[in-house]
Amino acid sequence: MKRLIVSVLLSSVSSVASAQGGFITVGQFLSECRQDMDPCIAFVMGVVEGARHQTRERLNAQPYAFLVHGEPVCLPSDWNSQNLTSVVLSILENQPDVHQYSAVSGVVYALATESNCQTS
């Protein structure tokens, strides 16, 4: 089942990416998400895990934490993949000025706006 999901995600991503010179824009991402949420959720979680990889040791107590420009981004630990994706879509839909940028950057930007890191 995982292989099927990954192959579907990669085939849809690669066809869009090749049309745009190598990356998916926020606008394309939003359009794809309106058609099928499963690859959309997988994309958001992939971005989160990729961002987390850089800070896994430092911010290990937070399940959804990463750094953006050296600043920690922490998201509620009770959020699941659907919550994360809904937040991203809601923020990006309301920010048409970012629709031309890469979808990866858009996801990171949207989640950074929701950061709840506690400083002590």
* Secondary structure (3-state) at 102: strand
Rg for the chain (alpha carbons), in Å?
14
pLDDT tens digits along 38-96: 999 999 999 888 777 766 555 555 556 666 777 778 788 888 999 999 999 999 999 99
* Domain range annotation of the chain: 2-112
Q: pLDDT higher for 16 or 26? A: 26
pLDDT at residue 16, as a whole number? 47
The residue type of 8 is: V
How much is the pLDDT for 118?
Answer: 62
> pTM for this structure?
0.71
